[in-house]
Amino acid sequence: MAVHDEKIKELEELVANSQYNKRTQKAIGMYKAQLAKLKEKVSKSGGGKTDGFSVRKTGDGTVVLLGFPSVGKSTLLNGITDAESETGAYAFTTLTVIPGILDYKHAKIQILDVPGVVRGAASGRGRGTEVFSVLRSADLILILIDVHYPEHFNALLREIYESGIRINKRKPDVKIKKTAKDGIKISKTVKLSTLDDETILGVLRTFRINNADVLIRTDITVDELIDCIEGNKQYVPAIVVLNKIDSLPKDKVEKIAKQIDANLLISAKNKDHLEELKELIFSELDLIRIYMKEPAKPADMNVPLIMFKDCTIDNVCSKLHKDFVSKFKFSRVWGKSAKFPGQKLNLKHRLKDEDILEIHLR
Ligand SMILES: Nc1nc2c(ncn2[C@@H]2O[C@H](COP(=O)(O)OP(=O)(O)OP(=O)(O)O)[C@@H](O)[C@H]2O)c(=O)[nH]1
Ligand SMILES: [Mg+2]
């Protein structure tokens, strides 16, 4: 293991000290590819074995509170959900995952309070490995920063990245299909501004890919190419919330908010701006409302079923009852996703906010 650690350090220094340009891109690409491979090896042989905390996902979406110790995660959880998580003036008050439910606009949103992370958490320090395994299952990550420690922000971003999570990014459109022979064929539908074919080939070969059809439809960087080859990254939306704004003068708070590009400023202790936070969570989760209707009856317009944006009728059926998909005959839809009121549609159809859905079963 120590051998790997030394090699990792060496490669990291090489990358940090090189200027990325046309001339150096291939060399840097190879360093980065080797680095990624080594790190994968280390995590597989080491801490990667734990399953993490076992938390069952319930509700209409899961939000994980992420922050250093004592930034106010438990205080916030208690302020916006039904949970009672212990809070304390000392670090590591919370040692396991505490779930709470935020009930907002008919959505039941699961909020998870996890132990505070510390630097190096992604490689297993503190409760890091467990925390990041919970994080990978999140539908939204809420990064909580204490106004007194804005420097935590960059440290957290690094930890998140190291743990294989990509926040607020779309998965790049890259397909790598391994083939039996004929070498590597690269096709592109966009111009790549920082990658030439030689670098792509070099990186692929570092991962022992010598025969493949590669189709690139996003202007990717070398890091994104490596992500695509590894294929184990999670793309999760995130919001940045600045807490304890009651404890510093307004002008200082505003300066810090700018510095970390905070989405919202709150005081969890004084319950300031928590309603705005609920609304932000709701909108960032991209939830939609589906009204269910029984045949020959009016729809129930009071209590919607909460689903993620772009959900299919199949998703709705699966959420309602385990037999609905196998017993499905057809459905009718009224609303934005239907071409005309009461359109007959099958399981693959994608629904839109406030659609009315009538399911016919066998
Ligand atoms: N002034 C101020 N203090 C706060 C605020 N929110 C939380 N605190 C205090 O910060 C301390 C830590 O709060 P916790 O909610 O326990 O923090 P945590 O992030 O859950 O900490 P760990 O579980 O140890 O990781 C407590 O003394 C809280 O009262 C706030 O908005 N303003
Ligand atoms: Mg806590």
Q: Are residues 188 and 74 in the same domain?
A: no
Looking at the fold, whether 271 and 159 belong to one and the same domain comes out as yes
- Verify that 138 and 22 share a domain, yes or no: no
Residue 242 and residue 127 share a domain = yes
CB contact at 8 A, 145 and 243? yes
CATH code of the domain in which 107 resides = 3.40.50.300
Q: Per the domain annotation, does 325 fall within a domain? A: yes
Total domains in the chain come to 3
Residues sharing a CB contact under 8 Å with residue 40, sequence separation 6 or more, in sequence order: 230
Percentage of residues in the chain with pLDDT exceeding 90?
67
* Banded model confidence at residue 229, pLDDT cuts 50, 70, 90: very high
pLDDT digits (tens, 9 = 90+) for 108-154: 999 998 877 766 666 655 556 677 788 888 999 999 999 999 999 99
Q: Is residue 50 part of a domain?
A: no
Distance between the two ends of the chain, CA-based, in angstroms? 59
Q: What is the mean pLDDT of residues 179-204?
A: 92
pLDDT: which is higher, 51 or 54: 54
Task: Give the least confident one: 9-18, 302-311, 350-359.
Answer: 9-18
- Asked if residue 157 and residue 16 are part of one domain, the reply reads no
Ligand 1 mean position, distance from CA 271 (Å): 12
Same domain, 160 and 97: yes
CATH of the domain at 345: 3.10.20.30
Looking at the structure, do residues 191 and 94 belong to the same domain, yes or no? no
Who's near 260: CB < 8 A, 6+ residues apart? 145, 150, 153, 240, 242
Question: Ligand 1 mean position to 282 CA, how many Å?
Answer: 23
State the distance from the centre of ligand 2 to the C-alpha of 165, rounded, in angstroms: 22
Would you state the pLDDT for residue 322? Answer: 83
| Pick from 86-95, 155-164, 351-360: least confident | 86-95
Same domain? 90 vs 177 = no
Q: Judge if 110 and 159 occupy the same domain.
A: yes
The finding on whether 69 has its CB within 6 A of some atom of ligand 1 is yes
- Same-domain status, 70 and 199: no
Do residue 162 and residue 73 come from a single domain? Answer: yes
Q: Is the minimum distance from the CB of 133 to ligand 1 under 6 angstroms?
A: no
Residue 44: predicted pLDDT: 67
Q: Do 145 and 104 share a structural domain? A: yes
Q: How high is the pLDDT of residue 125? A: 57
Q: Nearest C-alpha to atom 12 of ligand 1 is from which residue?
A: 70
53: in domain: no
Enclosing domain of residue 159: 61-169+234-284
pLDDT at residue number 47: 47
* pLDDT: which is higher, 151 or 22: 151
